[in-house]
Each structure stands twice: as C-alpha cells, then as structure tokens.
Amino acid sequence: MKNSVKRLLALVMTCAMLSVCALAADFTSCADELHDLGLFQGTGTDANGNPVYDLDSAPTRAQAVTMLVRLLGKETEAQEGTWEVPFTDLDGANAWALPYVGYAYANGLTNGESDTLFGTNNACSSQMYCTLVLRALGYDDAAGDFTYDNALTFATEKGLLDSFLTSGEFLRDEVAAISYAALVTPMNGSETLLVEKLVEEGAVDATGAQALIDKANLYAEYCALNASVENQAESIDMTTTMNMTMSMADVQVPMTVEANQKVALTEEGFEMATTTAVTAMGTPQNVEVYVVDGVMYTNDGTNKVKAPYTAVDDMLGMAQLSSAAASPLYYISDITKTEAEDGAVTYTVTMSGELLSSLTESVMAAMGQSQDMAGVAMGNVTMSMTYVDDVLTSLAATMPMSVTAEGQTVDMDIELTSVINAMGDDVVIEFPEDLDTYVEMPATETDAPIADQAE
C-alpha cells in the first residue's frame, strides 16, 4: 500500500509538471467561437439542436477547402456562383462541396488529386491545411512566399501552430485550433488581422468579433512585453514559494516549498545555484543544488554528491524553443490587464481546465502511463505576471487538479508565487568553497553498462 501511494503521488506530480504541454487536445472552445462567427458549421446537430463538430475525426479535403473559402470571406460568392469543374466526385452525397471546391479551383487556390478526381472524401493532412490557411492570409506559394514542403515550418513561424499540435494524427480538432489562430494573425504585409479583414468585408459580424479582436490585441501586447524581458534576461535571481495541498480519502498532505534560484548563461556555460526547503506534513527537508562547469553538486544535509550535468543542452534547447515564439492563442481562454496606482501592470492569463485535462491525459498516455491513469480533471489554471517599467517583478499561478489512478483519487491545489530579485548583470552566483569535497554519485543499476546488467 505504501509503495502504491508513493507511485500515485509521483504520477500526480508528473501531471502537474506536464499540464502545460500539448500532444493532443480538445479545442471545442475554439470550434464554438468559430461557429458563433459563422465559420465552422460542424457535421450536423444533436437532439437539442447544438452543433456536432466531430472533432475526433480526420478532416476531408472537401472540408478543408470549405474552411479556406470561409476564411477568405467568400462563402456567399461561392454559394451564389455557378462552377464548372473537371471532377467527377462532387455529385450525389458530395454535391454540398461543389460551390466551395468550384470557387477555390476557379481562383487557383486548389487542384484535384488527378485530372478527374478532387479526392473529396480523402483525408486532409496538416501540411495541406496549413498551405490553404497561409493562402487565406495572403501568402502565395506560387510566388515563393513559402513552399508546400515547408508549409508547417512557415506556419509555425507565423504563430499558427506549435510543434505539439501536429505531432499526432491530424483531426478536425486541429483544424479548429489552426483556423482560430489564423483569425488573429495579421495578413501578409499588413497589421490587419484576418478577422478584422473579414469584418471589413462584411463576412463576419463586427459586434460578434470584437471580443476576439480585443483578446488578440491584448495577448499580442503581453507577448511583446514578455519577449523583451526574455531577451534582456540571460540571468535571473528569483525566490519562489509554492503551497500545495494533496487530499486522498481522509488524508491531507500539506506541502510548502521555499526556493531561491539563481540561473545564468555565461561565456563559460550554464550556471545555477538553488537552495530549497521542503516541508511536508511538518517534516522539513533542505536541499542545495549547484551547477557549474557541466557538473551538478547536490547537498541534502546528509550527503554531498556530484554527477555530470547532462541536461544542460536539453534545458537550453527548451529555453530557446519557449522564447522563440509565444504560445498560439488557442491555448488561452482569457487574458486581462490591470494597472495599479504605483504604475505596476499585471497581466493575468487563464488556460481552460477542460483543455489542460485533455492535454495532460495525452501526455501521460504518450509516456506509457495510461494504464495507471483513470482520469485527470483540472480546473482553470491562472498565471499572473507583474511588470514595473516594463521589467518583470513577480509572477503567480494557481493550479487545481484531481487525478484518479490505481483506484484512488488525489485532489491537489497548488499556489505559486515568485519574486524576481535581480536580472541580467545584477545576478551574482556564489558557490560553496568545498565543492571539491563532493563525492561521485554511485552508479545506479540503470547507469551500469548493458553487459553488467545482463549478469
């Protein structure tokens, strides 16, 4: 039982750490907003008259071209036009697609899979859909703006998607997310968002679109500020307090973590000094961790050990990835901005609990943990960042979640606050003078050579 509880808590902690990663998701909220704007109709309606989006199915080529025409604001023109196409698979049950394919074909926006077949019901790939969306944004692959082969890379650079979104099977779920991101992306050579263009052309209701436009503009403002801070800070000194309560059956496990972390990217490489005090159920545990010259030194109060720090390259790669571009707007359910009398500006970003639950379960499944997990339910996660004179001074986050595994349910509430003590050249990292007395960490069974393990 004791080992079972330990394993369960480990799984819970893993969920908390991975909840902001995405391998597959549920972008129903994006589909809802697109539907309200008249851009995503779904595949039918349920008994209550609500749209059925069928987000778990693969999009067809006909559905993809339909979205292209709508994003171009040309649905009325397509429906009212008379189109002649050479394709024989646009009759009968597929006749609904003729106006959309006809318009796109006549305007050089799409071709068939052959001279006589459009491939109406064949699956649309992420590469094809991004190509169509980029064309809707005014980019011309024929003119050399991008190529079909690099469509995914180019779309990522324009903020339409991230690498996680297309890492699995391409579904209508991803179509909704990419289409949503496209609406809040500027047109080629312009500062006008696609949704603003659709409003100007009368294809989308101005009142209905205003909330999305306001959200996009505020998020762009926040991302620009955040990017400027990241570019300034190759070094940071911050103090973090995390309060967490885990409840399982009639048992509550309170935990408090107090940590000071100093991190720097220097000409010599990656350096870090962290002191952490963890108190769980009244029992304190202090740990010091230092990284310098590619070696990690750990002092847990009893043992002082060292080991090669092989995670440096991975950490730098992740940092570069996270700084390269902001997360697409389809991950953000809400963003607000408040200004205090002292000039402090706070942006509060909310991520949907429903979306995060889906993301977390997908990540755990990809890690081979699905057999242990019966369900992950998360509440809305909020993150607040406070800036003074465009300098980040503090951040806070709340994360409620519930995990059911091995027949037991753990409820967990996490509150985290961090204060930025210094950034850039003001960060000073000092290391203990006795690092040369730390001993090599003993090799574990998994560290041993394969031949030794076989014996």
Q: What residues have CB less than 8 Å from 431, skipping those under 6 apart?
A: 273, 290, 292
Q: Would you state the pLDDT for residue 455?
A: 41
Q: Position of tokens 């703006």?
A: 145
- Rounded to the nearest 10 degrees, the angle between the axes of helix 172-183 and helix 28-36 is 60
| Sign, CA torsion 351/357/362/368 | positive
Per-domain residue ranges of the chain = 2-16+228-440, 38-204
Degrees, nearest 5: CA angle 340-344-345: 90
Whether residue 27 contacts residue 355, with contact meaning beta carbons closer than 8 Å, is answered with yes
Q: What residues have CB less than 8 Å from 107, skipping those under 6 apart?
A: none
Whether residue 437 contacts residue 302, with contact meaning beta carbons closer than 8 Å, is answered with no
Whether residue 57 contacts residue 168, with contact meaning beta carbons closer than 8 Å, is answered with no
In the DSSP assignment, the letter for residue 170 is -
Tokens of 371: 């057999």
Q: What pTM was computed for the model?
A: 0.78
Q: How far is CA 344 from the centre of its chain?
A: 27
- At 445 the three-state DSSP class reads coil
Whether residue 185 contacts residue 137, with contact meaning beta carbons closer than 8 Å, is answered with yes
Q: What residues have CB less than 8 Å from 296, skipping those under 6 apart?
A: 289, 290, 306, 307, 308, 309
The count of C-alpha atoms lying within 13 angstroms of the C-alpha of 233, restricted to the half-sphere facing its C-beta, is: 22
For 2-16+228-440, the fitting CATH number among 3.30.530, 2.50.20, 2.160.20, 1.20.120 is: 2.50.20
Whether residue 247 contacts residue 410, with contact meaning beta carbons closer than 8 Å, is answered with yes
Q: Would you state the pLDDT for residue 231?
A: 59
Q: Would you state the pLDDT for residue 364?
A: 57
Q: What residues have CB less than 8 Å from 411, skipping those under 6 apart?
A: 246, 247, 248, 400, 401, 402
Hey, what amino acid is at 394? S
Whether residue 245 contacts residue 251, with contact meaning beta carbons closer than 8 Å, is answered with no
Return d(Cα 455, Cα 451) in angstroms, integer.
7
In sequence order, which ranges of 206-289 are alpha helices (DSSP H)?
206-232
Whether residue 396 contacts residue 418, with contact meaning beta carbons closer than 8 Å, is answered with yes
Hey, what amino acid is at 434? D
End-to-end CA distance of the chain: 31
Per-residue pLDDT of the chain (455 residues; tens, 9 = 90+): 334 344 444 444 444 444 434 334 578 999 999 999 999 988 888 899 899 999 999 999 999 999 999 999 999 999 999 999 999 999 999 999 999 999 999 999 999 999 999 999 999 999 999 999 999 999 999 999 999 999 999 999 999 988 767 767 899 999 999 999 999 999 999 999 999 999 999 999 999 999 999 999 999 999 888 877 765 667 889 999 999 988 887 788 889 999 999 998 877 778 999 999 999 877 889 999 999 998 999 999 999 999 988 654 444 434 443 443 467 899 899 999 999 999 999 999 998 776 676 666 555 555 555 545 556 777 888 999 999 998 889 999 998 888 777 778 888 899 999 999 998 888 999 999 999 999 998 765 444 443 444 44
β-pair partners for 376: 403
E strand spans, 232-344: 235-248, 251-266, 269-280, 283-292, 295-299, 304-308, 334-339
